[in-house]
Amino acid sequence: MADDARRVEIGFDGGQVLSARLTDDQLKRIRDVVRDGKGWHDLETDDGVLSLDLGKVVFVRQAGGSHTIGFSGK
C-alpha cells in the first residue's frame, strides 16, 4: 500500500472497533459507501480484504497527527 496510508478506525453497532491503514482515496470511498449504509462492502487493505456490513457501521474516524514520545526539543 502507498506510503500515504493513515490509520482509520471503523466502529460498529455493539462497540467493536476495527483499525486499518487506508489511503485518502480509500477513506473517501468508505465514507461515501457508509453514508449510503446499505448492504456489504469489500475494503482492500494491506492485511487483506475486509467485508463490512454497512448497516452496522456507526463511525469512521481518521487518526490525528503523528504522536511523539518524550521531549520534542521545542
Q: What is the pLDDT along the chain (74 residues), one digit of tens a residue?
A: 456 888 999 999 999 999 999 999 999 999 999 998 889 999 988 778 999 999 999 999 997 765 556 665 55
Reference 44, options 34, 32, 56, 52; nearest CA is 52
CB 38 within 8 A of CB 32: no
Domains present along the chain, CATH in parentheses: 6-62 (2.30.30)
The residue written with cell numbers 461515501 in the block is 32
Are the C-beta atoms of residues 54 and 36 closer than 8 Å to each other? yes
* pTM given for the model: 0.77
